[in-house]
């Protein structure tokens, strides 16, 4: 377990080794942040049982420290007993307050969860029955009263935010471990500090009462404390194992339901801010009225995108990099953004959540490290198409006097990129005059020389013009399937660049049939294809006399690239 979460009344503390971050909502409803290093960390994390004891006491300390730190974001503390004690003993006021809080909590706990249940147990059960059975029933009675008291606390309004922040911590951890799949109760988890405290307390009370050791008071204390430490370790290991599957997490509801509640979007976002800040570890900083920490920005962007199921880490990075005019590598060094930059980033994020592609939001797209302007007249080049370009570049490496034809060039992304990174002569053709205008502008922008020709496939090429390679990412969506595409595709990409005919193979048939007239002997054809189209495209190529057919898969293990050789001459 790398990251540990500790909820408080108005926020969440996240800790990784000796780094921590506390994110809270202040009295004005603004997010506030504090981060830095701490001397308190879990020791022996790889040693069962011992790590549980370490986690329990660190958790108690971190839990109350979080309450103290979060209070600094609220109204200033009034001068009182704590300041007088602090001045007299020459210790930090934080230490005095935490000690007083712990002492009061201990006294209240001993009375409500120790003395009171014990008296009630003896009252109901009496002293006449068998010792072991009597102690067992007394232990059960104690556990019942403890559970009842905790259940009542669960419904006290002032405790609700604490439990919701705890639920948000659970939600983040479970989504990370299970990728958010098949989790109907993601805000409940056995492995959280509040649940482990409750589990440990109930288990230790039950065991100590049932064993019922009767020794001198100091020996009883030592033995009982040893049992308590043992229960700390056992509780940790049980909760740790129970979090590993959905089934066992459901069983943990018996105790976790007492300390976790369904978080709101705000609670969830605050927990993400704390986690992001620890991951980025930008140092000891606070949110000001002028700047927004990058950790807070990332959490808000994720919340906006997840609402509509549009969250992609690459999109988040791309939006930030574009607004800040930095590379994706450079944004990793960014600690905060200005309010103006924040507004632009959130505006773009909201548009992306509404189904608008990044290319339409910013008017350009990155492809193979180059920038291409795009509009409604051209298809926005996709990441998968970079694999098509890469395959061509690998093939032409160290070859001279190579001529390449790009069919359906659109924005010119394929033709321009190949020309930019190889010593080849590239021609791009397209049936759309508007698309060719975009392609020519992109060629100038990237300082590349490409011949662009207005042509319906090969119609306007000279009959004797032949190429070493023909490359194409033609329309391959079946006509009837276009209406079922995502809004960001069907509403923003030109239908002309999508419609591949009744079976989606119309252009592959035409190109494969006509290409031999414009391929040199031994020339190659490179296609990008749609999912599940390989067998059909392979059959088309074989029927037209192509040989040495092979394919390449994309990042999702889908066959996306098809390459074939043509030796015959027509």
Label the pairing between strands 519-528 and 467-472.
parallel
Bridge partners (DSSP) of residue 299 are: none
Question: Which pLDDT score is estimated for 377?
Answer: 86
**In Å, how far are 314, 444, 498 from 487, measured between CA atoms?**
19, 31, 13
d(CA 155, CA 369) in angstroms, rounded, equals 55
446 torsion bin: left (phi>0), alpha (psi -120 to 50), beta (else): alpha
Long-range Cβ contact pairs of 38-45 (< 8 A, separation 24 or more): 40/65, 41/15, 41/17, 42/4, 45/1
Q: Which residue has the higher pLDDT, 176 or 419?
A: 419
Q: What is the DSSP string of 110-173?
A: HIIIIIHHHHHHHHHH-S-S-HHHHHHHHHHHHHHHHHHHHHHHHT-HHHHHHHHHHHHHHHHH
For the segment 24-46, the average pLDDT, to the nearest whole number, is 76
What 8-state DSSP symbol labels residue 484? G
Q: How far is CA 367 from the centre of its chain?
A: 24
Domains and CATH numbers, the chain: 4-265 (no CATH), 375-566 (3.40.50.150)
3-class SS at 524? strand
Q: Which residue has the higher pLDDT, 473 or 503?
A: 473
**In Å, how far are 93, 143, 389, 493 from 528, measured between CA atoms?**
67, 66, 10, 17
User: Which of 376, 54, 325 has its CA nearest to residue 200?
Assistant: 54
Q: Which residue has the higher pLDDT, 464 or 190?
A: 190
196 pLDDT exceeds 80?
A: yes
d(CA 274, CA 23) in angstroms, rounded, equals 5
- Do the beta carbons of residue 476 and residue 536 sit within 8 Å? no
265 pLDDT exceeds 90?
A: no
For the full predicted model, state whether its pTM sits above 0.75. Answer: no
d(CA 481, CA 505) in angstroms, rounded, equals 13
Long-range Cβ contact pairs of 101-104 (< 8 A, separation 24 or more): 101/64, 101/67, 102/60, 102/64
Give the burial class of 289: count Cβ atoms within 10 A of its Cβ; 0-12 exposed, 13-18 middle, 19 or more buried.
exposed
User: Picking from 114-123, 275-284, 457-466, which range would have the lowest pLDDT averaged per residue?
Assistant: 114-123
Question: Which pLDDT score is estimated for 551?
Answer: 94
For the segment 26-31, the average pLDDT, to the nearest whole number, is 71
Report how far apart the first and last C-alpha atoms of the chain are (Å, whole number).
66
Question: Which pLDDT score is estimated for 327?
Answer: 80
Per-residue pLDDT tens digits for 438-468 = 999 999 999 999 999 999 999 999 878 899 9
Per-residue pLDDT tens digits for 224-241 = 889 989 999 999 999 988
d(CA 540, CA 549) in angstroms, rounded, equals 11
245 pLDDT exceeds 50?
A: yes
d(CA 521, CA 471) in angstroms, rounded, equals 16
Q: Which residues contact 148 (CB under 8 A, 6 or more apart)?
A: none
- Do the beta carbons of residue 209 and residue 142 sit within 8 Å? yes
- Do the beta carbons of residue 41 and residue 17 sit within 8 Å? yes
Question: Which pLDDT score is estimated for 92?
Answer: 47
- Do the beta carbons of residue 305 and residue 361 sit within 8 Å? no
Confidence band, pLDDT 50/70/90 cuts, at residue 249: confident
d(CA 475, CA 528) in angstroms, rounded, equals 10
E strands, 211-252, in order: none
Number of C-beta neighbours around residue 83 at 10 A: 14
What is the enclosing helix (H) or strand (E) of 428? Answer: strand 424-430
In SS3 terms, 293-309 reads as EHHHHHHHHHHHHHHCC
Nearest-5° angle of CA 261, CA 265, CA 267?
A: 55
Question: Which pLDDT score is estimated for 428?
Answer: 96
d(CA 103, CA 481) in angstroms, rounded, equals 68
Question: Which pLDDT score is estimated for 336?
Answer: 86
Per-residue pLDDT tens digits for 310-362 = 888 888 988 998 899 888 778 888 888 888 998 999 999 999 888 888 888 88
Helices 217-242 and 50-71 cross at an angle (nearest 10°) of 90
Q: Which residue has the higher pLDDT, 28 or 431?
A: 431
pLDDT above 90 as % of the chain: 29
d(CA 39, CA 61) in angstroms, rounded, equals 11
Per-residue pLDDT tens digits for 380-429 = 888 889 999 999 999 999 888 999 999 999 999 999 999 999 989 999 99
Per-residue pLDDT tens digits for 59-92 = 888 777 777 766 666 544 444 544 554 455 444 4
């Amino acid at each position: 377990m790398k990251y540990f979460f500790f909820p408080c009344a108005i926020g969440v503390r996240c800790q990784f080794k000796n780094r921590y971050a506390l994110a809270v909502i202040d009295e004005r409803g603004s997010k506030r942040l504090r981060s830095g290093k701490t001397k308190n960390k879990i020791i022996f994390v790889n040693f069962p049982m011992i790590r549980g004891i370490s986690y329990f006491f660190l958790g108690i300390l971190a839990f109350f420290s979080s309450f103290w730190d979060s209070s600094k974001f609220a109204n200033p503390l009034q001068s009182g007993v704590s300041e007088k004690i602090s001045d007299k003993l020459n210790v930090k006021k934080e230490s005095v307050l935490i000690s007083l809080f712990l002492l009061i909590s201990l006294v209240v706990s001993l009375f409500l969860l120790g003395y009171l249940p014990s008296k009630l147990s003896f009252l109901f059960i009496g002293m006449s029955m068998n010792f072991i059975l009597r102690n067992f029933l007394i232990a059960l009675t104690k556990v019942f009263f403890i559970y009842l008291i905790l259940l009542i606390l669960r419904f006290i309004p002032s405790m609700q935010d604490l439990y919701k922040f705890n639920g948000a911590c659970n939600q983040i951890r479970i989504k990370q471990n299970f990728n958010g799949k098949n989790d109907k109760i993601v805000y409940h988890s056995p492995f959280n500090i509040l649940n482990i405290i409750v589990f440990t307390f109930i288990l230790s009370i039950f065991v100590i009462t049932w064993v019922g050791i009767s020794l001198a008071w100091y020996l009883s204390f030592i033995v009982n404390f040893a049992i308590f430490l043992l229960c700390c370790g056992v509780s940790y290991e049980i909760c740790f194992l129970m979090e590993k599957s959905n089934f066992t997490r459901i069983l943990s509801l018996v105790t976790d339901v007492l300390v976790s509640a369904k978080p709101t979007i705000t609670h969830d976002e605050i927990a993400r801010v704390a986690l992001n800040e620890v991951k980025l570890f930008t140092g000891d900083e606070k949110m000001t009225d002028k700047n927004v920490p990058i950790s807070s920005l990332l959490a808000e962007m994720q919340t906006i995108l997840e609402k509509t199921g549009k969250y992609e880490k690459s999109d988040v990075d791309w939006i930030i990099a574009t607004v800040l005019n930095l590379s994706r590598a450079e944004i990793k060094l960014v600690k905060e953004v200005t309010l103006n930059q924040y507004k632009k980033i959130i505006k773009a994020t909201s548009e992306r959540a509404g189904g608008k592609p990044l290319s339409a939001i910013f008017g350009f797209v990155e492809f193979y490290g180059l920038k291409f302007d795009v509009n409604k007249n051209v298809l926005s080049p996709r990441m998968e198409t970079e694999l098509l370009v890469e395959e061509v570049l690998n093939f032409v490496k160290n070859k001279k006097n190579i001529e390449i034809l790009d069919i359906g060039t659109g924005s010119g992304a394929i033709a321009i990129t190949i020309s930019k990174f190889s010593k080849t002569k590239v021609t791009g053709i397209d049936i759309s005059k508007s698309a060719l205008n975009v392609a020519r502008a992109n060629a100038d922008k990237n300082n590349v020389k490409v011949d662009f020709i207005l042509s319906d496939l090969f119609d306007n090429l000279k009959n004797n013009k032949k190429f070493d390679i023909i490359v194409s990412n033609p329309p391959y969506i079946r006509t009837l399937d276009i209406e079922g595409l995502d809004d960001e595709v069907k509403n923003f990409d030109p239908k002309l660049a999508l419609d591949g005919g009744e079976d989606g193979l119309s252009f592959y048939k035409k190109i494969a049939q006509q290409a031999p007239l414009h391929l040199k002997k031994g020339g190659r054809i490179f296609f990008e294809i749609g999912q599940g189209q390989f067998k059909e495209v392979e059959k088309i190529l074989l029927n037209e006399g192509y040989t040495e057919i092979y394919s390449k898969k994309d990042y999702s293990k889908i066959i996306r690239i098809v390459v074939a050789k043509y030796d015959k001459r027509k």
